[in-house]
């Protein structure tokens, strides 16, 4: 994947790229969270959470409810909170490079999730399986709609979504 730089031998990186599409059909929220679960479906680690969501939005059952129900975010340490919290991505191409030590992300099979809140109780949940340390593997993610596809949506809020494991 272009734009990636090399990382140390004790590190792994997940390069997550997507396009945040402009949506004029509704007042936008676009709160976004990225997390990993183990292959058996148990929560593993939050990798990114937008600021509003991290500072209390997680208490709203309509905003990214899949993550909110598994992450136990109220118990996050200050270090974890600071490491993964950032502004909501702007409209256009986005590249998130998440660097973790091999201890933080050991070998194994995982499920990567991206959940984005649209408006009201509408959310899009993107997911796909990844294997660590599978070198230079690029994985597309599938989308599901929570509770259903937004009635005015003609396309997804995220497109061209790919995960590259290094």
Q: pLDDT tens across 81-95, in order? A: 999 999 999 999 999
3-state secondary structure the chain: CCCCCCCCCCEEEEEEEEEECCCCCCCCCCCEEEEEEECCCCEEEEEEEEHHHHCCHHHCCCCCHHHHHHHCHHHCCHHHHHHHEECCCCCEEEEEEEEEECCCCCCEEEEEEEEEEEECCEEEEEEEEEEECCCCEEEECEEEEECCCCCCCCCCCEEEEEEEEC
pLDDT of residue 3: 41
Model pLDDT, residue 137: 67
Confidence of residue 150 (pLDDT cuts 50, 70, 90): confident
pLDDT in tens, 27-44: 778 899 999 999 999 999
Domains and CATH numbers, the chain: 11-165 (2.60.40)
Model pLDDT, residue 8: 53
**pTM for this predicted structure:** 0.90
């Amino acid at each position: 994947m272009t734009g990636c730089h090399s990382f140390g031998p004790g590190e792994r990186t997940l390069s997550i790229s997507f396009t945040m599409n402009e949506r004029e059909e509704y007042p936008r929220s676009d709160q976004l969270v990225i997390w990993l679960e183990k292959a058996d479906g148990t929560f593993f680690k939050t990798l990114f959470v937008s600021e509003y969501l991290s500072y209390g939005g997680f208490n709203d059952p309509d905003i990214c409810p899949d993550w909110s129900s598994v992450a136990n975010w109220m118990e996050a340490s200050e270090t974890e909170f600071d490491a993964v919290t950032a502004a909501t991505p702007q409209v256009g191409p986005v590249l998130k490079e998440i660097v973790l030590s091999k201890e933080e992300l050991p070998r194994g099979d995982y499920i990567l999730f991206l959940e984005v809140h649209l408006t009201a109780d509408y959310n899009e949940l993107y997911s796909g399986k990844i294997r660590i340390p599978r070198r230079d593997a690029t994985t597309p993610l599938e989308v599901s709609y929570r509770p259903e596809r937004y009635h005015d949506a003609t396309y997804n809020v995220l497109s061209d979504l790919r995960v590259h494991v290094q």
